[in-house]
Amino acid sequence: MKNFIRELIIAVLLSVILMFILSIILSSTSVSENIIKPATIGIVTLSLMIGAFRISKSKKEKGILNGSILGIIYMFILYLISSFVNFEFSLSISSIIMIVIGIIGGAIGGIIGVNF
């Protein structure tokens, strides 16, 4: 459980760092703001894959399960934070897609971690 929480924190911190870098790029260059949504999905997926990879590599079993659970918890935390920020607790199609992509990203990272 301790490793799981550590990898969840690492995934969240990695996302925060990458989002900060993305915001700097957007504010200091002429890159279109149309890349925000795909970049966010990419950052979340990459962060989850790395976290799931690390947890599954250390446990050496049940990579898809551990990665999926990490993805579910991460996406739940992300949903709560964005809901509090936006004062809106509703699920849209884009929210559901983001949750599914997060779970799949965690599962893929877990599979890779077990087999690495």
Ordered per-residue pLDDT tens for the chain, 116 residues: 788 899 899 999 999 999 999 999 988 988 888 888 899 999 999 999 999 999 988 888 888 999 999 999 999 988 888 888 878 777 888 888 989 999 999 999 999 999 88
DSSP string for residues in 67-78: HHHHHHHHHHHH
Residue-range definition of the domain harbouring residue 99? 2-115
**Predicted model pTM:** 0.85
Note the pLDDT of residue 39. 92
Note the pLDDT of residue 29. 87
Note the pLDDT of residue 4. 84
Cβ atoms within 10 Å, residue 11: 29
What are the structure tokens assigned to 104, written together?
Answer: 């799949």
Note the pLDDT of residue 34. 87
**Alpha helix segments (H runs only) across the chain:** 2-28, 36-59, 63-86, 93-115
DSSP structural state of residue 46: H
Note the pLDDT of residue 13. 94
Total domains, the chain: 1
